Each structure stands twice: as C-alpha cells, then as structure tokens.
Structure 1
Amino acid sequence: MTRLAGKRALVTGGRQGIGRGIVEAFIAEGAEVITCGRGAAPDGLPCAWHSLDVSDPLAVKAAALAIGALDILVNNAGVQVEKTVTESTDADWDLVIGANCKGVFNCCRAFIPQMNQGGSIVNIGSISGQVADPSMALYNASKAFVHGLTRSIAVDHGPAIRCNAICPGWINTGMLEAGFDLATDPDAARADAIARHPVRRFGQPRDIAAMAVWLASDEAGFASGQLFTVDGGMTAASPLNPGVF
C-alpha cells in the first residue's frame, strides 16, 4: 500500500522501538522519511538521519531549517525514569521533562511554520498520562503534558494542521523491561500484566506504527485533537485480575 505516497515525514527518536517501527511503516507506505536521535546513525537505518537532541531549542531550530518543509511530524523521542516524586532529582526532572515535554514543544514550534497545508502531527503520548504507573512520577506527568499540548495545537493551528496523540499501553520495548525490573518478582509481574490484557499479549511497535500511518494519512482527515489509546484493552478492564475468574 502507498497511503503516504508523496508525503515527507520526520520521526523523532527513530533509532529503535516504537520510533523505528513507525519509520519502517511510513517507508512501506511510500513516504520520504527522516529520523533523528542523539549520537550517530544506527546500523541498517533505511532513511536519512540527523543527530539531534530535541531538548535543545537552538539545535531543533537549526534542524528545521536544514530539513525544510514537512507533511508529517511524529514526536516520538522520549525517556523514562523509574522513580517516585520524592526519589526524583533535579537531574531526573531535566532529563525527562527536557525530552518528553520540551522536546515535543521545541519540534512543534520549529516545524509548524513550515509544514505543508493539510499536514499531520502525531505525538506519542501514553496511557501513563491518563492512569499513573507506580514509581513513574515524572514520566506520567510528562505524557499528560503531551496530551494537553496535542489538543492546543489542534485548536490553534487547524485547519492547516491536524494534531493527534497515540497513547500506547505496554509495548514490548526496553522501557517495558525497565518497568518490570522494578517488581519484586518480574516473572510474576509479567504474567499478571498479560492476564490484564483482553488480547492476552503485550503490544509490538508495529501496533503503534499502524495507528501512526492512519493518523498521518488522508484517511484520518476528520481526526484532530484526539487521544487514541492502543493498549490491547488493558485500561478498559476493572482492577480485578481476569486470570482468577
């Protein structure tokens, strides 16, 4: 399929995980894709790479000038720190809020003025911005910011640009593994978590990429300012563990 044929896209944080999945899905759908991240380009990357720290506003502005006009912007770059409020340091704040909040803001501010008419911004939020994961205070708060910013961009910059957020659930990436490492019994925690998903599995990057393709395409022309939860049904359920019934 070529739902994104003729469109030019930037996906931040495309080195691995969800970002890499979106990069590959966009290319398969015919888009010209650029991605970025800290450090050198990873091996085997199928598109152009920019070394970029999205928390640095001057670097983002320079990248925007170098990259030029876009049809699609996917703000995926983000980090996670597994701590409560009282455990979090100023350095933790700077890291998480810098990447997850300031990074999304910087990219939107820099690229919106040069996006083509009818462009689409897809922000990667999280169910953690709607329901709090334990010991993830800064991450939870940062994703709630992304959700609010998504609505504001849709309201302020439509009809020229649509802006939506995807709220992934538990996706099989390094961030998921870091979360389970906090548990007293990681294997038991994993089994319990899977039991709480009606689809009985964790998500894969391709599951989020499929939603990103749709939101970036003209098929989603009437979707803007919305949060799309993709979590295998986990947050649809009550707190009761279905595995014991």
Structure 2
Amino acid sequence: MSETDKIAIVTGGGRGIGRAIVDRLKADGATVVTCGRGARPADLDPDVAWVQADVSTTDDADRVALEAAALGRVTVLVNNAGVQIEKTVAETTDDDWSLLIGINCKGVFNMCRAVLPLMGEDGGSIVNLGSTSANVADPSMAIYNASKGFVHSLTRSVAVDHGPKVRCNAVSPGWIMTEMAESGFALARDPERAKADSIARHAARRFGKPEDIANTVAWLVSDQSGFVTGQCFTIDGGLTAASPLQPGLF
C-alpha cells in the first residue's frame, strides 16, 4: 500500500508531538483525521479532518473512528492523546485518577477497540505513544508513570492477539520539548538548572523535538517496518542509556 492510500487517525493532533505526527503523515501523502477535546486549531492544515472528541468516552472514540471510516478503510491509528498530572500517590485525587487514566489508558483502549474491526482482513498499523516514564519513574508523576506502563503492555497484547493482519508498536519518548515537558521541569526547585543537568545526561546533548518522534512513527506505519510488531522503541537521545554519574566528574 502506498502512502497516498493510507487513511490515518492521530488522536491529540492539535499541538506538540501529535501535531508533528499529523504534519508528517500528511506530507507523506496520507489522508489524516485527528481529534481533540477543544475546538479545531486555527493553524491546522485545512486538508486535515478535525473531530472534537474526548477519546476517554466510548461514544466519542467510536465517532472518531466512524468519521475516518467514511473516507475509506482505516489503515493507521496513532494513539497520541494524553495528559500529565504532577502529583505523588498521596496527593492524587479521585478526579485526577479519572482524568488521567481515562485519557491515557481508556482512551488508547477505546480507540484500538473501535479501529481494529475497521482495518479488516487487509490489516493496518497501530502506534501507541508510551514513555520512558513507564520504565524509570519521573518524580511526582505517579499515575502518569503507571499509565504509560499500561500503554506498553496493551501494545504487546494487541500485536499478539491481532497479528499478522495488524502490527502494533509503541514509541517511548524521553524529554521532548513541548508544553507537557516544560510543566515537568517546573516541578524542580531550579528549573533552568534542572534542564541544564538533563541535557548534560543526554548522549545527543539536546532535548528531543516533536519531529524526532514523528519520524519514528512514520517509519513504523510504513511498509519498511513490515516485520516489526509488539515492540516499544525508546527515543530519548541516549538519556536512559547513560550512567547516573555526573558527566565531567570522571
């Protein structure tokens, strides 16, 4: 299947990593449908379909899938929508739990369940946005960390249960400079010093850009990755490969 034959759903495509994925798949020739809880962003490509929806709600997730299916057979799903709450377990409220787990976990489940039947016998590719936070916990983000562990596990289950017709993989970003990352650094006593220390721990000596993730997603939904499924790809500039010893001291 050529890129121009692909109909792709990207959740949470209004900004940040999601927008970069939308733009990349569109540039590759796919027909793209994206969604978000708010109104259509004014700067979104006019050729990209926008559905105002909350994927944590089953009816909304089904509606996104059906609007995409009206354009033809859905071949790509990218589950990018997510929220971040900066709290420990003791600080987390029931409302925090419902919001974050609803979007980060139930939203991914809802969209997979809605889209899998639409891919049919000819199959397709699903990419879920996980995080390095699923493997090494970021401080004061307890249920966010846990939610990404769910995403990684669900990714493997979808790949095993629905292969070979459907491939399912996850991309685990590290520090990608978006509004969500900025809010994480804001938790530090000295945010600028925390950023400088973090950059020093990256083998790439920089933070990631949304386009870095979009490039990986584009490969995973292409025929070039046809033998790749059930995997979680860490895209973090070498951050989690490094020793915790402070660079320059040894």
Q: What TM-score do you get using the length of structure 2 for normalisation?
A: 0.95
Q: Contact (CA 8 Å) 1:9, 1:70: kept in 2 or not? A: yes
Whole-angstrom distance in 2 between the partners of 1:91 and 1:243 = 44
Give 1:82-161 correspondences, 5 Å limit.
Answer: 82-116=86-120, 117-161=122-166
In the alignment, structure 1 segments of 5+ residues that lack a partner are none
Name the counterpart of 1:15: 14
Please state if 1:6 is matched with 2:5: yes
Query: Offset at 1:4?
Result: 2.1
Name the counterpart of 2:56: 55
Secondary structure of 1:165's counterpart equals strand
Structure 1's 3 and 238: CA in aligned 2 closer, same or farther, altered over 3 A?
A: farther
Please state if 1:176 is matched with 2:181: yes
Whole-angstrom distance in 2 between the partners of 1:243 and 1:92 = 40
Whole-angstrom distance in 1 between the partners of 2:64 and 2:238 = 38
Structure 1's 154 and 119: CA in aligned 2 closer, same or farther, altered over 3 A?
A: same
Query: Offset at 1:152?
Result: 0.1
Please state if 1:217 is matched with 2:222: yes
In the alignment, structure 2 segments of 5+ residues that lack a partner are none
Whole-angstrom distance in 1 between the partners of 2:123 and 2:61 = 22
The match for 1:70 among 71, 74, 88 is 74
Name the counterpart of 2:240: 235
Whole-angstrom distance in 2 between the partners of 1:228 and 1:98 = 24
Name the counterpart of 1:79: 83
Q: What TM-score do you get using the length of structure 1 for normalisation?
A: 0.97
Query: Offset at 1:3?
Result: 6.4
Query: Offset at 1:243?
Result: 4.0
Structure 1's 231 and 3: CA in aligned 2 closer, same or farther, altered over 3 A?
A: farther
Secondary structure of 1:232's counterpart equals coil
| Identical counterparts, % of pairs | 62
* Equivalences, count: 244
